[in-house]
């Protein structure tokens, strides 16, 4: 029987926690009602379950349950936020600001709007992956309607200064959206303190099921208007029509509930594992750490290696560990990571990147095995130069 590799790709997806699945199962069978069916007990059961998850998600980010709009995931939430604002506010202005290291689920909707005549400013990042707030301030205009900056980068784990960005946007009466797909349950999020108007969330990065996400839409100070991108039925306050997927929603709520309860201790544990792995790998000649060394997600370690072939490196690591070279959503793309080239890396160095995504079920013993095999693989490839 073959031994499966150690899973270290938790920024692509995570397994459903064994505590999450039992909460979901009744809503596939005995409690199968449509939450929009309010005339009988089957609908009431599902409606109550959906309401509970709204409350969990709202409490997680200091919002109200009415401000949570369920979607199929963070990609749909990003599209609804960006295109929904563009369509609702185009008479006020047609300028949107985002960042070079954003996920394609933000960059691509912005490029689509550009094809329709909107002006898109894509801010560069500094060598550590953080944006320069001075550059953001310079980019703001009277016709700017939206700034979209992700909370935590999916490739290099860098945490952007959300509170400072939110303050700047609100001073200029500009809406602020953040893609927090990688952040929910991992770092403290507070839409009031951070002055965030729109926040995209997903379940499968936090040990919940795939296929379910949410968009926080601020209702007061200011009340955000969105043009729906999906019509038919008027669900979710008219912002996102479609029958709600109750089992997935229940799983989302349970996953976030667990993550919040364990957030502090898990952050400490993952930071220790990441530091242990980096201390071992950093002894190898030609290794670079990508992204800010401290202002990053606890379990994220992204490296580039000089003097090796990127494809050969991943192939050499595969028997022992499941890792990636970047975003799972662009893994079929043969171009170098746009995130790493935005940091100033050459295409050659960007091709040699490896993202170690350490998660809830990884152990110290696994990190020792991974480090030993990674070092041996890198040194073997370097010796073949």
Q: What is the DSSP string of 83-109?
A: HHHHHHHTTT--EEEEETTS-HHHHHH
- Per DSSP bridges, beta strands 354-357 and 95-99 are unpaired
What's residue 2's pLDDT?
A: 59
End-to-end C-alpha distance for the chain, whole angstroms: 35
Q: Are 185 and 256 in contact (CB under 8 A)?
A: yes
Q: Return the closest-CA partner of residue 14 out of 215, 258, 177, 214.
A: 258
Q: What is the pTM of this model?
A: 0.95
Q: Are 163 and 136 in contact (CB under 8 A)?
A: no
The angle at the Cα of 63, spanning 255 to 131, to the nearest 5 degrees, equals: 85
Choosing from 10, 110, 169, 329, the catalytic residue is 329
> E-strand spans in the chain?
6-7, 68-71, 95-99, 119-123, 144-148, 175-179, 198-202, 213-217, 287-289, 300-305, 321-322, 354-357
Helix, strand, or coil here: 305?
Answer: strand
Q: Are 250 and 24 in contact (CB under 8 A)?
A: yes
What's residue 307's pLDDT?
A: 87
Longest pairwise C-alpha distance within the chain = 72
Our answer to whether residue 169 is catalytic in this structure is no
What's residue 333's pLDDT?
A: 55
Query: Which residues of the chain have a pLDDT value below 50?
Result: 1, 327, 330
Domains and CATH numbers, the chain: 6-14+263-383 (3.90.1150.10), 21-256 (3.40.640.10)
What's residue 233's pLDDT?
A: 81
| Structure confidence by residue, pLDDT tens digits, 210-253 | 999 999 999 999 999 999 998 888 888 878 989 999 999 999 99
Query: Residues 6 or more apart from 70 whose CB is under 8 A from it?
Result: 50, 212, 213, 214, 236, 240, 244, 245, 249
């Amino acid at each position: 029987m073959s031994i499966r590799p150690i899973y270290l790709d938790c920024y692509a997806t995570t397994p459903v926690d064994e505590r999450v699945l039992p909460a979901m199962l009744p809503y596939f069978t005995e409690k199968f009602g449509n939450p929009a069916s309010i005339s009988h007990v089957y609908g009431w059961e599902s409606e109550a379950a959906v309401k509970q998850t709204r409350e969990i998600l709202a409490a997680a980010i200091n919002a109200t349950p009415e401000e949570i709009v369920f979607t199929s995931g963070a990609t749909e939430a990003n599209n609804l936020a960006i295109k929904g604002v563009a369509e609702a506010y185009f008479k006020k202005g047609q300028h949107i600001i985002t960042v070079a290291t954003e996920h394609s689920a933000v960059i691509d909707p912005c490029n689509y709007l550009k094809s329709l005549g909107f002006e898109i400013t894509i801010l560069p990042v500094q060598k550590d992956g953080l944006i320069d707030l001075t550059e953001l301030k310079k980019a703001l205009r009277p016709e700017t309607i939206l700034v979209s900056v992700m909370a935590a980068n999916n490739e290099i784990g860098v945490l952007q200064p959300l509170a400072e960005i939110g303050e700047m946007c609100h001073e200029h009466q500009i809406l602020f959206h953040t893609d927090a797909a990688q952040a929910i349950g991992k770092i403290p999020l507070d839409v009031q303190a951070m002055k965030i108007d729109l926040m995209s969330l997903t379940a499968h990065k936090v040990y919940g099921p795939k296929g379910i996400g949410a968009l926080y839409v601020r209702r007061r100070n200011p009340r955000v208007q969105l043009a729906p991108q999906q019509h038919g039925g008027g669900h979710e306050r008219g912002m996102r029509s479609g029958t709600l997927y109750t089992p997935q929603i229940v799983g989302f709520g349970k996953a976030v509930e667990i993550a919040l309860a364990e957030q502090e201790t898990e952050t400490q544990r993952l930071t220790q594992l990441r530091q242990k792995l980096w201390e071992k790998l950093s002894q190898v000649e030609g290794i670079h750490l990508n992204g800010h060394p401290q202002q990053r997600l606890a379990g994220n370690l992204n490296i580039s290696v000089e003097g090796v072939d990127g494809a050969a490196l991943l192939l050499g690591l595969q028997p022992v560990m499941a890792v990636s070279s970047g975003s799972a959503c662009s893994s079929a793309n043969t171009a170098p990571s746009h995130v790493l080239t935005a940091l100033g890396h050459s295409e050659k160095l960007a091709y040699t990147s490896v993202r170690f995504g350490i998660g809830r079920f990884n152990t110290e013993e696994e990190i020792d095995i991974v480090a030993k095999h990674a070092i041996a693989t890198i040194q073997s490839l370097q010796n073949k130069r």
